[in-house]
Amino acid sequence: MTVITAEHLLTRVRDLLAAHPPADTDRADFLRARFDAGLAWVHYPEGLGGLGAPRSLQSVVDTELEAAGAPDNDPRRIGIGLGMAAPTILAYGTEEQKQRFLRPLWLGEEVWCQLFSEPGAGSDLAALGTRAVREGGSGDWIVDGQKVWTSSAHTARWAILIARTDPALPKHQGITYFLCDMHAPGVEVRPLRQITGEAEFNEVFLTGVRVPDAQRLGAVGEGWAVARTTLMNERVSIGGMRIPREGGMIAPAAAAWRERPELRTHALHQRLLELWVEAEVARLTGERLRQQLVAGQPGPEGSGMKLTFARLNQEISGLEVELLGEEGLLYDDWTMRRPEGVDFTGREAGYRYLRAKGNSIEGGTSEILLNIVAERVLGLPPEPRDDKDLAWKDLNR
C-alpha cells in the first residue's frame, strides 16, 4: 500500500477543484465528487470517502478547500453522524452497511441521532432498559422503550440505538447495538423543553418498532463494546474544539468589560482577570493535547478538558450576567425554539449562563468524568460496585 503524503493530497484536491470549480458547481454535486475522490475523511478506506491516509492530513485538505471557497457538508448539522455513527459503523459495520450508510451520512443527505440515554439510565448508561426481542419467524427485532436527550431526533433519518436483548445477563453483557430507521412505525419524537426555554433535545418513544437483523451492528450481546467506540468518539469531539486566544465564553465577557467602562467594579475586575488567565491556560492545554496527538503521544489531558471547559463556561457566563448589571436581570427570549445546534455566541449572556449549566451534564457528567480521571489517570481504586456481575433484571432501579 502506498503511503499518502500531503503533496499527494494537494494534487488530488487541485484535480477536484479543476474538474468541479466551486463557483460553477451545485453544492450537492461538489460534495458527491469530493466524497468519491476520497477527500471526505482521508483516513477512511478507498471507496468509503477516504484514501487510507493518516488522519492528521485531513486539515491539509480542509484548509485548501476552504481557501478555494468550496462548499462544506455543514458538519455542525450532522455532527452526531460524523462524530459518532460514522466511526462506529466503520469499526463494526458489515461491508453492506458501510456502503449503504457512510456516503449519505457524510453528504448530509441523512441526518443521524443517538438513542442511548434513558430516563433511568443516564450516567449509568449500561443499566438501560429498552428491550429488543427477536421475532421467531422473520428474525427481525421488536424494540420497546424510551430514550431521552436525543438531539436532532426530529430531523434525523437514522439512529444509532442500544437495547437490552438479554435481561438475565449482567448489565454490560445483554446489550445489542442497532441502526434504527427513525421513520419506522412506532417511533415517536417529542420535544423536550430546557431551562433556556428552547428545545434542542427530544424524548423518543419506541413502541413495537421493527428493526431488521441486517441493521444490527456487531454481534448479539456485544453492544456495549460497540457503544464504547461511539462514546470515546463523542468525548473526543466535545473536547476537541480549537479556539483562538480569548475565544469561547471569555470573548463576550471581555468585550463587555472593554466597551462598557461604566459597568466596571474592582470585585468584577479580580474575577474577570482570574477567569481570563484560566481560559487562556485551558486553551493552551487543549493546544498541547492536539500537538501530542499529532505527534502520536496522546496524553491524559483529554480526560480533563471537558471538565475544565464546563466549569469555565459556567463561571465566565455567570460573571458576564453580573457584569451587565441591570441588563443582567433581562433575558432575550423565552420562546420555545428548535435550534439545529448550540449557538453560544448568537444569544445573550443570560442564555449563555443557563445553557452552560448543561456543559457539566451532557456527554458524561463532571462527576463521572472526575471518577474516570481518578480511576484511569491517577490509578485510584474504584468505589465498591456490586452491579457488574448481577443479572440486569436483579438490579435495583
Partner 1 sequence: MTTAAAPTDLLYSGTEEELRSAVRALLTDRCDAKSVLDRAETGRPHDPALWHTLAAGIGTAGLLVPEKLGGQGASHREAAVVLEELGRAVAPVPYLTSAVLATEILLGCDTAEAAPLLRELASGSTVCIPAVPLTLAPGAPLPAPVRDHGGGVLTGTVTSVADAVAADVLLVLADTGLYAVPAASARLTPRVPLDLTRPLATVTLEAAEGTLLADAGTARAAVAGALLSGAGLLASEQLGLAEWCLTETVGHVRGRHQFNRPVGSFQALKHRLARLWLDVASARAAARAAADALATAAPDAPLTVAVAQAYCSGVAVRAAEECVQLHGGIGMTWEHPAHLYLKRAKADALALGTAGHHRGLVADFVELPAP
Which of 345, 295, 287 lies closest to 317, judged by CA? Answer: 345
Sites for partner 1 among residues 101-120 (CB under 8 A): 117
For position 367 contacting partner 1 by CB under 8 A, the verdict is yes
How far is residue 234 from each of residues 114, 177, 308, measured CA to CA in Å? 11, 16, 17
Angle between helix axes 301-323 and 250-259 (nearest 10 degrees) is 30
165/3 Cα distance (integer angstroms): 43
Q: Which is nearer to partner 1, 194 or 292 (CB)?
A: 194
Active site residue 118: no
18 or 334, CB closer to partner 1? 334
Give the contacts of 332 (CB within 8 A, at least 6 positions apart): 347, 348, 350, 351
Residue 328 C-beta: closest distance to partner 1, Å? 5
Half-sphere exposure of residue 366, counting CA atoms within 13 Å on the CB side? Answer: 14
Q: Residue 57 and residue 70: Cα distance in Å, rounded? A: 18
CB-based burial of residue 26 (10 Å sphere; 0-12 exposed, 13-18 middle, 19+ buried)? exposed
Q: Which of 234, 315, 320, 362 is catalytic?
A: 234
Which segment (62-70, 92-100, 244-252, 331-339) binds partner 1 by CB under 8 A?
331-339
- Residue with Cβ nearer partner 1 (286 or 364): 364
Q: Please say whether the beta carbons of 117 and 125 come within 8 A.
A: yes
**CB 175 within 8 Å of CB 221:** yes
The interface with partner 1 within residues 184-243 (CB under 8 A) comprises: 192-195, 197
In the complex with partner 1, which residue's Cβ is closer, 192 or 243? 192
Whole-number Å distance between alpha carbons of 204 and 115 = 8
Site string for partner 1, 248-287 (x = CB under 8 A): -----------------xxxx-------------------
Question: Of 1-9, 53-61, 72-80, 378-386, which part binds partner 1 (CB under 8 A)?
Answer: 378-386
- Binding footprint of partner 1, residue count (CB under 8 A): 50
Sign of CA dihedral 112, 238, 121, 200: negative
Using rule CB under 8 A, residue 329 touches partner 1: yes
Chosen residue from 8, 32, 290, 357 binding partner 1 by CB under 8 A:
357
Q: Which of 101, 149, 158, 224 binds partner 1 (CB under 8 A)?
A: 149
Q: Annotated catalytic sites, by residue?
A: 234
Residue ranges binding partner 1 (CB under 8 A): 117, 121-124, 127, 148-149, 192-195, 197, 265-268, 314, 318, 321-322, 325-326, 328-334, 350, 353-354, 357-358, 360-361, 365-367, 370-371, 383, 385-387, 390, 395-397
